[in-house]
Chains A and B, each alone.
Chain A
Amino acid sequence: MPASFVILVGCQLIGEALRQTLHLPLPGAVIGMFLLALALVGGGGDRTAGVADQSSQLSRTANALIANMGLLFVPAGVGVIAELGVLRQNWLPILVGLLVSTVLGLVVTGFVMDRVCRAEEGSRRTASLLSTLQDSRG
């Protein structure tokens, strides 16, 4: 547990330092996430086993944090109490923006993923069909 926190907080700290020195517009924690993902993927020989074995302690801490992430939003979310004026003044653009962007984001992502996967599987099927045809001829 303490060791995995060293890794997580360390990555965040490095991310924060990079943000400050390079004037990156990304949050330090996001840079830290990217760095840790790179380290995990590059570190293990066999990739999936690498993540599971080498850092099983890290995996457990990460899973515990992610599983309870909801709780971690509450203090900041309560901060909406200070923005109630903004909310009241902008309720229509907020409501419409929320609905429109959520539905569009959902549909566009799902649609593109579905069609590209379908097209790839289609071409794979055609390729295997062609090869069986050639095999049967030869």
Chain B
Amino acid sequence: MRDVLMALWIPLEPSPLLWLGATLLAYVLGQAAQRACGGSPFANPVLIAILLMVALLKVTGTPYQTYFAGARFIHFLLGPATVALAVPLARNLSHMRRSLRGLGLALLAGSLTSALSGIGAVWLLGGSRAVALSMAPKAVTTPIAMAVAQEAGGLPALTAALAIAGGIIAAVIGETVLRHLRIDDWRAHGLAAGVAGSGVAAAQVAPRDSLAAAFAAVGIGLNGLLTAIIVAAIAVLWPIG
């Protein structure tokens, strides 16, 4: 059995197609798992796919560079996908106009709180600069968060993992916590989900209310822009050392 597996494995291993295909398959399996769990935010397909691939690389002893030689074809699409966020942003402009003051204030307060409390907590508990700067942009949608972390001297892969984990937390507790504080406005629910939990949390509130979906989209886009500026400023003010 093992010989047969090895005979199949050896010619496949150097091909970038192997890891491209494995990544696609792992994500499809993750999506199937989420459907099987009734769409639960705990069964996040991205998280499942990452865990599956990490396990597979560990078991086969494959270095990350070999894996990435195949997976980079998927990775490349992150840039265009980030630019594509401009489309829902522009589409929801009419919603933004109507509550411009609340939107501006809430975004500024939320972005600053999220970035600074993340950095502060890591720093107070003795984490390194790289970890703190990886934490700061984690509330932003993952592609932006990773690019920002890279630019600021954080660890993009760690930021990606944190962004997904933070999104799951926001998706799971978001509505309960906000209702507990007597916050009932759907615009506030949507915006908070977009700002604190990006795409993962937005996907959780979007089906509940269309206004919440619009504000979540706005929150993701504008928070990305604002946090990029905030984190860049912090990185400049916090010298390496």
| A→B interface (CB under 8 Å) | 5, 8-9, 11-12, 15, 25-30, 32-37, 40-41, 47-48, 51-52, 55, 58-59, 61-63, 65-66, 69-83, 86-87, 90, 92-94, 96-114, 116-118, 120
Counting chain B residues whose Cβ lies within 8 A of the other chain, the interface size class is 35 or more
Using a CB–CB cutoff of 8 Å, the interface residues on chain B facing chain A are 23-24, 26-27, 44-46, 49-50, 53-54, 57-58, 64, 67-68, 71-72, 74-75, 77-91, 93-94, 99, 101-103, 105-107, 109-111, 113-115, 117-119, 121-128, 130-132, 135, 138-139, 141-144, 146-148, 150-152, 155-158, 160-166, 169-170, 173-174, 177-178, 181, 183-185, 187-189, 191-193, 195-197, 199, 219, 221, 224-225, 228-229, 232-233, 235-236
Main SS of chain B's interface residues?
helix
Are B107 and A109 interface neighbours, CB within 8 A? yes
Chain A residues closer than 8 Å to B185, beta-carbon distance = 113-114, 117-118
A-B contact count (CB 8 A): 358
Which residues from chain A contact B193 at a C-beta distance below 8 Å?
A: 106
Find chain B residues with CB under 8 A from A51 CB.
87, 90-91
Among A5, A62, A74, A114, the residue within 8 A (CB) of B23 is A74
Q: Which of A28, A48, A65, A86 contacts B158 (CB 8 A)?
A: A86
When A and B form their complex, which 4 residue pairs have the shortest distance between CB atoms, in order from nearest? Answer: A109-B110, A79-B157, A105-B114, A27-B147
